[in-house]
Structure 1
Amino acid sequence: MHAWLCENPTGVDALTWKELPTPAPGPGQVLIEIRAASLNFPDLLIVQNKYQIKPPLPFVPGSEYAGVIQAVGEGVTHLKVGQNVACLSGTGGFATHTLAPAALCMPLPEGFGHVDAAAFIMIYATSWHALMDRAQLKAGETVLVLGAAGGVGTAAIQIAKAAGAKVIAAASTDEKCELCRSIGADATINYTTHALPGGFRDAIKAATDGKGPDVIYDPVGGDFAEPAFRSIAWRGRYLVVGFASGPIPSLPLNLTLLKGASLVGVFWGDFAKREPKANAQMMAELAQWYGQGKIKPVIDSTMQMSQLKAAYAHMGSRGVKGKLVMVN
């Protein structure tokens, strides 16, 4: 097998493509021949030693992937050789093969292709857990999605629309705003032309007829957080999803009082570990929605696994719309 090996987490340039022995699965594991692996923001942080999870060295990055089971370990009875699966295990994806915990593998129904499957679990699980579980989104409410043209942003738009909400999508270019409208957003805000903080707040006010959004989905953080929170509706829920812009913002807590609003943390990874039954039920419903055509990952482009460093550079340029997927 071949894999991108991180022996020194100083950044993307330190990754090397190496030939390694193909391992045999141990108890509770499966060996997967990887057909596709998606690039997520944590995949960048982890090779820079900036992610909250720091795997022992050396490791193979690539949190999310899909492929075909080649072998099963002792005790694995619900999966079989030749079966198509997707998996989000945190590492191992940027390779030709990997060992994965069988418990984390999602069997793929007929017609669920590897590229879509590799781009599915993280963004839809995060966005469903945020909107439907943590925010208790109701039909007829208004959702503002920040960073709306990215992976989790596009998933949030689709889930909110499927739930009957009105969606306002905020993104950094007209092209990205057009993408958001094409997948269901009712209105868009280009925050390059509606400058922070005043222009951005004015645009939110105009898009919500002065009421403000009931739910704000924020995977961006940084300078957007305070003006967005100041614009929230009475009893609004502000979903803290991530900090793609870099800085972790500070908010004056009196804003929660004045707005009767909630700051709500979203940590899907821990939810999946702490509440496995609820997570499994959620994933089954998401797979059903995919089959019904209600949701479908937006794929920016596919690139050969050997082009991983170029893919990281593309992601770092902030030009990605939806998900980047590496293929073998």
Structure 2
Amino acid sequence: MRAVVAREVGEPGDVLTVRRVPVPEPGPGQVLVRVDAAPVHAGDLHVIRGRYGYAPPFPAVPGLECAGTVAAFGPGAGDGEDGEDGEDGLRLGQRVTTVGVTGTWQEFVVADAAQVLPVPDSLSVSTAAQLIVSPLTAWLLVTGLGLGPGDWLVQTAAGSTVGQLVLDLSRRLGFRTVNVVRRRAAVDRIRALGGTEVVCTEDEDLPERLAQLTAAHPMSKAIDCVAGRVGADVLRALAPGGELVVYGALSTHRQTDPAMLGIPVPADAIIFGGRSMRGFFLSRWFATTPPQVARRELGEVIALVEKSAMTVPEGQAIPVERVLKAVRLAEAPGHGGKPLLVF
């Protein structure tokens, strides 16, 4: 089978290759999934660069999620003696997605049966391949802050997949948003998606605009996946007692200076204003959340996506042999839909 392999830690364009490797065998209680599509997330690129929340042993196959079909069951994973029907209603040939499984940039992937979920037939391959990481992140950020009617939320990178899903939830739950984007070309699209206010750092002073907006509508809740100076400006703009949740660091892509990999936290905002900042890491959430709770939250998210209350932007299918193009596209300004490696 074909697999994308990172030889070592480094720039993706320098260390990624496509290799032929043996098809893995599912072990006891495991499922073999034939991968149809796997997205290229920012987190995947952080893993390759050695800057993510976990570090696999290299050489390593990247990939944080995928969509595909059930190809085989390992011993004990099937309900019947012939092993053709699996746990949780899984069956051979069924469309599925993987949850908390890494190494998905390959033609077949093995996962524990509990980490394989059926995909509704109404969802496209593109949506199925992106069903977990971004929608669940958006859902947990919004519900974790308790956002509801009349509340305001400041969010950075509003044009990202998570940002657009947050806007879907704002329409559903009734909260209003201040959306920070870095390109003027994105402003009209964010407004069309329901963004209440949009601030463009390409030609607007972020602290000044945030000060104007928060003077009219004090805001105490924010989410940030940019970090750096942008994250610090958002924290300072919040009302006393406000909270910033940081779930990414897009401003630090390609940075090698450790001093650049952070947020210059304004001490006065924390000491005198009582503002706080905490992180959110989906992998840690999976590791620390009881399985029944995780299943319930996943069920909520999948139901919302199925009835179009949350819309995952359509991705761009790219043959796995052109993985380097997919990686470049993933970090290109205004690249459109998320690159999807297809087999």
With normalisation by structure 2, the TM-score equals: 0.88
Report the secondary structure of 1:302's partner residue. Answer: strand
Structure 1 residue 75: Cα displacement:
3.0
Q: Which of 97, 103, 128 does residue 108 from structure 2 map onto?
A: 97
Match in the other structure for 1:294: 309
Structure 2 residue runs of 5 or longer lacking an equivalent are: 78-86, 253-260
Q: Which of 167, 170, 175 does residue 157 from structure 1 map onto?
A: 167
Match in the other structure for 2:28: 27
Structure 1 residue runs of 5 or longer lacking an equivalent are: none
Distance in 2, Cα, partners of 1:222 & 1:321? 24
Q: Which deviations, in whole Å up to 9, do the C-alpha atoms of 1:292-326 show, x marking residues without a partner?
A: 21111113522222221111112223333452222
Match in the other structure for 2:176: 166
Asked whether the 8 Å contact 1:119–1:325 carries over to 2, the reply is no
1:82 paired with 2:82, answer no
Report the secondary structure of 2:316's partner residue. Answer: strand
Asked whether the 8 Å contact 1:92–1:99 carries over to 2, the reply is no
Distance in 1, Cα, partners of 2:5 & 2:279? 33
The one-letter amino acid paired with 1:281 is R
Match in the other structure for 2:7: 7
Mean Cα deviation higher: 62-71 or 247-256 = 247-256
Mean Cα deviation higher: 254-263 or 54-63 = 254-263
1:225 paired with 2:231, answer yes
> Cα 1:58–1:89, aligned 2, differ >3 Å: closer, same or farther?
farther
Structure 1 residue 272: Cα displacement:
1.6
Match in the other structure for 1:128: 139
Report the secondary structure of 1:239's partner residue. Answer: strand
Match in the other structure for 2:257: none
Root mean square deviation, CA, Å: 1.9
Report the secondary structure of 1:54's partner residue. Answer: coil
Runs of 4+ in 1 over 4 A off after TM superposition: none
Report the secondary structure of 1:245's partner residue. Answer: helix
Distance in 2, Cα, partners of 1:15 & 1:285? 36
How high is the sequence identity, in percent, across the aligned residues?
24
Asked whether the 8 Å contact 1:169–1:185 carries over to 2, the reply is yes
Match in the other structure for 2:81: none
Structure 1 residue 263: Cα displacement:
1.8
With normalisation by structure 1, the TM-score equals: 0.92
Distance in 1, Cα, partners of 2:163 & 2:337? 8
The one-letter amino acid paired with 1:116 is T
Mean Cα deviation higher: 251-260 or 46-55 = 251-260
Distance in 1, Cα, partners of 2:220 & 2:251? 23
Q: Which deviations, in whole Å up to 9, do the C-alpha atoms of 1:188-210 show, x marking residues without a partner?
A: 1111111xxxx212222334453
Q: Which deviations, in whole Å up to 9, do the C-alpha atoms of 1:30-89 show, x marking residues without a partner?
A: 111111111111111112222231112322111111010101122322222111111144
Distance in 2, Cα, partners of 1:213 & 1:314? 34
Aligned positions, number: 323
Q: Which deviations, in whole Å up to 9, do the C-alpha atoms of 1:215-249 show, x marking residues without a partner?
A: 21101101112211111124422111121111311
